[in-house]
Amino acid sequence: MFETLQDRLGAILNGLTGRGSLSEADVSAALREVRRALLEADVALEVVRSFTDAVREKAVGAEILKSIKPGQMVVKIVHDELVAMLGSEGVSIDLNAAAPVVIMMVGLQGSGKTTTSGKIANRLKTRDKKKVLMASLDTRRPAAQEQLRQLGVQTGVDTLPIIAGQSPTDIAARAVQAAKLGGHDVVILDTAGRTHIDEPLMIEMAEIKRKSNPHEILLVADALTGQDAVNLARNFDDRVGITGLVLTRMDGDGRGGAALSMRAVTGKPIKLIGVGEKMGELEEFHPRRVADRILG
Ligand code: GDP
């Protein structure tokens, strides 16, 4: 049977009821279970370490109350710390800049970048009544350009017509220009991905950023990314400088440990989550829900 963290910690700690405060040894035993739960949820190892250190500091010496079982008390400390590390609720896309506001979408191929570009455009259009222009900068994959065009048709959002032979930076500059002329409030740049992080990709991202002066740079990442999440987020943040994260496939079976890993290493807010393939399946990030899920 699946044992929750509460059960596991209860088995270790509940015998301590009425015994004063939690000792270093009690907490260490509990933290072994916490560590196991986080690794099962795919939280990256280095983040698990810093997280358990933070919990240790709060838990050692904590008074054992009569009103709550020690196991539950530690679960609460863990949960509160997870919520704190996952960051605030409701930090949405910042459009507070002169129009056209440029949103640059970055991430690996297959992370859900194009789909999320369409979802964000759809949301800005229907909910915020913004006039949006989307542009595909993936000059190496015509299928990706066509995919974005189709999402534009489906959502009724403008897409920048393709001009063969243009470089990604040329397209970015042309998109901003077209948005100025077209009276668009927002430009979404769907950049090219790769199957893994490489130097040319990072150089291309930095150049696009320089040319288009984005107000938001959103890293789109699959919530099912395991230990790689840290590397991915750190690289994009160090090299390009992201302003936020979007986690896709939160509708999947994964426990979403990547959310904690990426937030912890970048300190950047998780702005939105993808919960399906359809254009409406984009939601606000709720740290409590993700904390519950990570703890299982
Ligand atoms: P890109 O290569 O990063 O542009 O990735 P795509 O946008 O083409 O997405 C890759 C696949 O993931 C597509 O089949 C999408 O429909 C799917 N996808 C994207 N976001 C989500 C999501 O939040 N949930 C699910 N279940 N599938 C998604």
Q: Give the tens place of pLDDT for each residue, 136-172.
A: 999 999 999 999 999 999 999 999 999 999 999 999 9
Distance CA 253, CA 240 (A): 30
In the prediction, which pLDDT does 165 show? Answer: 93
In the prediction, which pLDDT does 296 show? Answer: 78
249 marked among binding-site residues: yes
Ligand 1 binding pocket includes 145 (Cβ within 6 Å): no
Residue pair 281/103 in contact by the 8 Å Cβ criterion: no
155 marked among binding-site residues: no
Which residue's CA lies nearest to atom 14 of ligand 1? 277
Token duo for residue 118: 């369409």
Residue pair 45/227 in contact by the 8 Å Cβ criterion: yes
Average pLDDT over residues 189-211: 93
Please tell me what DSSP assigns to residue 245.
E
**For 33-68, what is each residue's pLDDT tens digit?**
999 999 999 999 999 999 999 999 999 998 888 888
In the prediction, which pLDDT does 2 show? Answer: 58
Residues in the chain: 296
* Centroid of ligand 1 to alpha carbon of 221 (angstroms): 10
Average pLDDT over residues 257-273: 95
H/E segment holding residue 217 = strand 216-222
Distance CA 52, CA 26 (A): 14
* Centroid of ligand 1 to alpha carbon of 115 (angstroms): 6
- Of the two residues 294 and 117, the one the predictor is more confident about is 117
- Lowest model confidence (mean pLDDT) among 3-7, 77-81, 202-206, 227-231: 3-7
Token duo for residue 89: 């609720």
114 marked among binding-site residues: yes
Ligand 1 binding pocket includes 182 (Cβ within 6 Å): no
112 marked among binding-site residues: yes
Average pLDDT over residues 217-221: 98
Provide the 3-class DSSP secondary structure of residue 71: helix
pLDDT at 1 over 50: no
pLDDT at 196 over 90: no
Reported pTM: 0.95
In the prediction, which pLDDT does 19 show? Answer: 80
Token duo for residue 205: 């991202």
Ligand 1 binding pocket includes 110 (Cβ within 6 Å): yes
Ligand 1 pocket test: pick from 104, 190, 194, 248 the residue with the most ligand atoms within 8 Å of its Cβ: 248
Q: Give the alpha-carbon dihedral of 284, 92, 221, 248, to 10 degrees.
A: 20
- Distances from the Cα of 258 to the Cα of 26, 40, 223, 265, 282, angstroms: 28, 11, 6, 11, 18
Average pLDDT over residues 220-238: 93
Q: Percentage of residues in the chain with pLDDT exceeding 90?
A: 79
Which residue's CA lies nearest to atom 6 of ligand 1? 112
Atom of ligand 1 nearest to the CA of 282: 23
**For 77-131, what is each residue's pLDDT tens digit?**
999 999 999 997 878 899 999 999 999 999 999 999 999 999 999 999 999 999 9
Ligand 1 pocket test: pick from 115, 134, 232 the residue with the most ligand atoms within 8 Å of its Cβ: 115
Ligand 1 binding pocket includes 71 (Cβ within 6 Å): no
- Of the two residues 170 and 295, the one the predictor is more confident about is 170
In the prediction, which pLDDT does 68 show? Answer: 87
Ligand 1 pocket test: pick from 104, 277, 282, 283 the residue with the most ligand atoms within 8 Å of its Cβ: 277
Average pLDDT over residues 213-235: 94
pLDDT at 197 over 90: no
